[in-house]
Chain A
């Protein structure tokens, strides 16, 4: 992604939300208001590491009472590839950072009569801005939020205070509390749109359940914060039809990364198969689609794929 449309921000404040989640409040360098954004938006942060620039996406929200600030929450991932570790260990109040303008791949439906959010763990973050927007517009919504415990439940007090009648919490380590179950989907009134954010498995379970209960796909929304688990893990080769170049895509590397490594400037943004920016044309070969963007019809056409997450089987020829 090009960095021509970036913002310089300063870290105003860092707060421990839980033992593994930190909240960062960002302000503009000249104390003007940062750009407004819609519920569900995120920013890309560009972190300068000795090994190069690391791009990471985080949902935007603002739990302060002061408009014009950005806030993000970062969970320290056990298998961090650098992003969350850097945020937790290196970023200090007063530091200047580069971030993108807000983007939104997870917008609220404007047709819903009622919105229901299902969050697990750090998956709560996109819903903070969505709920704030709906509350301001006096629209109907509710939140179902699962965490290991009350102590590990980020924004617990904030949510209980600001939306006391609209939040239900589910703590898996506490005895006697109910577990978050897809069966809750059976009880939503007609006109409900549901939104899922959490681990891959949770999104899959809830999406499948909603479809099996007869929800139209149109009413089901989700956001992944990591690429889908790649079950194939097989290398494949790729030929570029126009230039005649040929590359190998190793099992642990994405097609997008390989193309960019060899100087083919495929644009990209979310890197988790959700936005469609990195679409490439397929001339020949079979594709394993792992994105959540293309329609069934587009997949069946066999003419396109998202290079950030989808993979070829054996030998793939691209129209590049």
Chain B
């Protein structure tokens, strides 16, 4: 779940903190809390590392690990995809996006994908239907459902 603000997840054995170079500071409070509570953690500021680096890092983790991702939209989604492929679930991660969102809204009438940022209402670029952006997310389509706007 992409959030506006992150929260500290209790009862975990290990934390993985992962940020791009602009957002590392947003995780400092959590790193501090993990240190205070004596919980093991890894911290990576990801720059030019290839996907294979992240893939190997995530695949080495045990159950009870918890992932924080913070950065721009493209960065967060890239890391999230690799983490999900390694076995992390949405229950085992929190994500924070800074800057504009680049969501996809699926038209409930014609099923076309529409790029959106934070708009609550749009007009479908394919069929012209007035759509309301919902929070109903499809992991398979990597998109939100756009309802008919009444």
Contact = CB atoms under 8 A, between A and B. Distances in A.
A113 interface: yes
Nearest to B14: A214
Nearest to B58: A190
Given A214-B64, A215-B64, A216-B92, A190 B11 contact: no
Interface residues of B, number: 18
A218 B89 contact: yes
A201 interface: no
Contact of A213 (B63, B86, B89, B92): B63
Given A214-B66, A216-B89, A216-B92, A190 B13 contact: no
Interface string A122-141: 00000000000000000000
B89 A189 contact: no
B62 interface: yes
B91 interface: yes
Given A211-B11, A214-B11, A214-B13, A190 B91 contact: no
A164 to B, nearest CB: 25
Given A211-B11, A212-B11, A214-B11, A191 B62 contact: no
B12 A190 contact: no
A190 B66 contact: no
A186 B14 CA distance: 12
A215 B92 CA distance: 9
Interface of B: 11-14, 58-59, 61-66, 86-89, 91-92
**Closest 10 CB pairs between A and B?**
A191-B87, A214-B64, A216-B91, A113-B87, A214-B12, A190-B87, A190-B61, A213-B64, A188-B63, A214-B13
